[in-house]
Amino acid sequence: MQEDTRNLIDEYKNQSNEQVFNALSKKRNSLEIAIENVEHDFNIGSIVRTANSFNVSKVHIIGKKKYNRRGAMCTDKYLEIIHHPTIDDFLKTQTGRELVAIENNTPLARELHVKSFKPNTTLIFGSENNGITEELLEKAHDVRYIESFGSTRSVNVGAAAAIAMYEWARQIIFK
């Protein structure tokens, strides 16, 4: 048998992509991720890869459809990724979920480290340059920022997504 070189844990080696997707679907957690108009395709791929690592239930891409799948390292094959052309289309899928925007470009934002997450949360991430649109920020139930201690005002959106997903998992999965 040919060696399976995909970046998979041993449990999923030598299984088809469909088998891996189905196995992960049986144990997905309740976290969802939304990405709104992130300009750099590699960052979307990075968020998708991290979402796979945390086995989120869904990734929503709002607005922009195309992204650099290479950055996702094929992990997009193991997740449900839904494209929404509009914010309203996305919001229709979010009934009963807490929408938490991760955004440092607004006075509405409070520190992430004091957030108490709910299990049915959707974390929202926006563009590197302009952040999350005002339209979507107004729909969020909570807005948080990631504290920074150096000279840079913020971390890369892919890194921010990883930090926020871990904080949610720390509170909900590891409790």
Asked, for residue 5, whether it belongs to a domain, the answer is no
Structure tokens at 36: 């709104």
pLDDT score of 162 more than 60: yes
Residue 119 lies in a domain: yes
3-state secondary structure labels for all residues of the chain: CCCCCCCCCHHHCCCCHHHHHHHHHCCCCCCEEEEECCCCHHHHHHHHHHHHHCCCCEEEEECCCCCCHHHHCCHHHHCCEEEECCHHHHHCCCCCCEEEEECCCCCCCEEHHHCCCCCCEEEEECECCCECCHHHHHHCCEEEECCCCCCCCCCCHHHHHHHHHHHHHHHHCCC
pLDDT, tens digit (0-9, with 9 covering 90-100), for 137-147 = 999 999 999 99
Give the number of domains in the chain: 1
Does residue 121 form part of some domain?
yes
CATH of the domain at 122: 3.40.1280.10
Q: Is residue 10 part of a domain?
A: no
pLDDT digits (tens, 9 = 90+) for 39-81: 777 788 889 999 999 999 999 999 866 565 555 567 788 899 9
Q: Which pLDDT tens digit goes with each residue over 94-146?
A: 999 999 999 998 898 999 999 999 999 999 999 878 899 999 999 999 999 99
pTM of the model: 0.93
